[in-house]
């Protein structure tokens, strides 16, 4: 059967407006009306799927409606493939978690980043990189268990660095050489940081009460913080 452009447009629009079983039955009845080779003609000229047309023909003949399980489609959660993943994530972050220091919520916060958790899953629990989900997925799983990354999500900067230790080791050697030489003059240079007095420094936060803004509104007074670093002059 030859189909005109008007008939093709009508059939395509009608099929798009119908859903589920009603759409499949309409397609099956249309194919049946086209006669022999109707499925091939509908596929080529109307762009219909042969699987849907066959399914509709089965429903038409048997009278049994196939239920569409759309919620069973798509990609499954990673814990369906890795049943111990959530338990292992909890074991990693549990020892690094703490409550809100201001007790404004019941959330737990961890200093570990999702990338670090993923790395420990590989090294400690022997997951492969291909098995594990992305860091964004691990973050969502952590939040589902009640754990939230702290602002910044990074570990605290260590107070001591190897470079700093090397500087002070060299300073000890220089001091020893200066003590052994009688012609060396050693001075102590003040290298303290300059910080404004009162609410002008550190966003207005201070460990001690400092009343210096009542007459110095401009914030030009300064105080010093830090320590002394000896310098050698020969």
pLDDT digits (tens, 9 = 90+) for 90-119: 787 776 666 666 656 666 666 778 888 888
Residue 219 has pLDDT above 60, yes or no: no
**pLDDT score for 229:** 44
Higher pLDDT, 111 or 43: 43
Angle at 102 (CA atoms; ends 100, 103), nearest 5 degrees: 60
Least Cα distance to 11 among 33, 32, 26 occurs for: 26
**pLDDT score for 152:** 43
This model's pTM is above 0.75: no
Q: pLDDT tens for residues 145-187?
A: 655 554 444 445 566 777 888 888 888 888 888 888 878 777 7
Burial label for 89, CB within 10 Å (0-12, 13-18, 19+), is buried
Residue 31 has pLDDT above 80, yes or no: yes
Burial label for 209, CB within 10 Å (0-12, 13-18, 19+), is exposed
**pLDDT score for 28:** 92
* Rounded average pLDDT over 76-93: 81
């Amino acid at each position: 059967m030859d189909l005109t452009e008007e008939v093709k447009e009508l059939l395509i629009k009608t099929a798009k407006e119908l859903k589920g079983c009603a759409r499949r039955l309409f397609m099956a009845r249309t194919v049946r009306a086209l006669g022999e080779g109707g499925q091939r003609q509908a596929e080529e000229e109307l762009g219909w799927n042969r699987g849907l047309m066959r399914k509709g023909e089965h429903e038409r003949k048997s009278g049994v409606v196939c239920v569409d399980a759309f919620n069973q489609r798509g990609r499954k959660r990673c814990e369906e493939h890795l049943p111990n993943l959530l338990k292992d994530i909890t074991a990693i972050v549990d020892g690094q978690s703490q409550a809100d220091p201001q007790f404004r919520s019941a959330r737990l916060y961890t200093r570990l980043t999702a990338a670090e958790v993923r790395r420990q899953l590989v090294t400690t629990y022997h997951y492969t990189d291909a098995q594990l989900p992305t860091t964004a997925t691990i973050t969502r799983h952590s939040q589902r268990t009640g754990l939230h990354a702290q602002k910044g999500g990074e570990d605290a900067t260590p107070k001591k660095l190897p470079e700093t230790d090397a500087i002070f080791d060299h300073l000890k050697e220089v001091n020893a050489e200066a003590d052994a030489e009688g012609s060396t003059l050693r001075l102590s240079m003040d290298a303290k940081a300059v910080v404004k007095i009162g609410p002008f420094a550190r966003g207005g936060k201070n460990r001690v009460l400092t009343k210096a803004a009542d007459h110095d509104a401009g914030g030009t007074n300064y105080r010093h913080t830090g320590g002394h670093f000896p310098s050698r002059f020969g």
